[in-house]
């Protein structure tokens, strides 16, 4: 091996070592962030325990923050991030309502044919809302309609990333938009008030920075 070859080999080994160390450090940071999210979740649950219907929002914040942290650490695609976020909501809403996840999965499947076309997303949402508005004696229909609105609003936000070719590094703004849409949706009848949700969101983001 020539002197130049030896130098190149040593340089490559150092580069691989640096890459591995950077990757390992990032994994540790993401793991610590996810653990911190759980701690903040418990703190906020105690702080706002006197408010009805607030825990669902705090749980939503925990879920979306953990999904985006995992997405960043695992280099998920935008498609996978979107899919995991909606599947996470399916799990949460099923747990809180005791409605079979399969019902919500069926609704989600309907939306997949839209291929991030905003007009098609709206058409599918309108069709599904009409469907679940006209079923008699349907105890799960109100929750299904809430989920339809959630999926519609989420897909609207993600559709912008596909149209604009947004890189994952820029998806922090997408997360913010999703949370704000969820806040507006939950506060549409003033229960809970939007101001309370905003306070919780501020507390959550500030606590994560500590």
**Confidence bin at 105 (pLDDT 50/70/90):** very high
pLDDT at 189 > cutoff 70: yes
Domain that holds residue 168: 3-209
Number of domains in the chain: 1
Residue 22: its pLDDT value, please?
60
Residue 27: its pLDDT value, please?
57
Residue 145: its pLDDT value, please?
93
Q: Which residue has the higher pLDDT, 117 or 165?
A: 117
Q: Which residue has the higher pLDDT, 21 or 178?
A: 178
Residue 23: its pLDDT value, please?
52
Please state, in angstroms and rounded to a whole number, the distance separating the CA atoms of residues 55 and 49: 8
What one-character-per-residue DSSP string does the chain give?
--HHHHHHHHHHHHHHHHHHHHHHHHHHHHHHHHHHHHHHHHHHHHHTTTSTT-HHHHHHHHHHHHHHHHHHHHT--HHHHHHHHHHHHHHHHHHHH---HHHHHHHHHHHGGGTT-HHHHHHHHHHHHHHHHS-TT-TTHHHHHHHHHHHHHHHHHHHHHHHHT--GGGTHHHHHHHHHHHHHHHTTTSSS-HHHHHHHHHHHHHHHH-
The vertex-69 CA angle with 23 and 53, nearest 5°, equals 165
Residue 16: its pLDDT value, please?
46
Please state, in angstroms and rounded to a whole number, the distance separating the CA atoms of residues 118 and 193: 29
Mean pLDDT over 91-106 rounds to 91
- Does this model's pTM top 0.85? My answer is no
Mean pLDDT over 160-189 rounds to 73
pLDDT at 204 > cutoff 70: yes
Q: What is the mean pLDDT of the chain?
A: 81
Per-residue pLDDT tens for 73-83? 777 788 888 89
């Amino acid at each position: 091996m020539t002197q130049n070859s030896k130098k190149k080999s040593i340089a490559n080994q150092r580069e691989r070592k640096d890459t591995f160390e950077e990757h390992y450090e990032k994994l540790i940071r993401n793991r610590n962030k996810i653990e911190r999210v759980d701690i903040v979740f418990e703190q906020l649950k105690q702080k706002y325990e006197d408010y009805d219907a607030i825990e669902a929002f705090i749980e939503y914040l925990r879920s979306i923050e953990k999904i985006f942290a995992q997405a960043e650490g695992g280099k998920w695609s935008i498609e996978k991030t979107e899919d995991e976020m909606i599947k996470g909501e399916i799990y949460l809403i099923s747990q809180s309502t005791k409605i079979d996840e399969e019902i919500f999965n069926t609704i989600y499947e309907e939306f997949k044919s839209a291929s991030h076309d905003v007009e098609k997303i709206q058409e599918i949402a309108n069709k599904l809302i009409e469907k679940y508005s006209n079923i008699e004696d349907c105890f799960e229909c109100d929750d299904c309609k809430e989920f339809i609105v959630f999926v519609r609003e989420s897909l609207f936000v993600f559709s912008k990333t596909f149209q604009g070719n947004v890189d994952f590094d820029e998806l922090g703004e997408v997360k913010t938009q999703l949370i704000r849409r969820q806040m507006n949706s939950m506060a549409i009848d003033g229960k809970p008030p939007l101001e309370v949700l905003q306070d919780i969101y501020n507390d959550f983001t500030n606590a994560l920075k500590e």
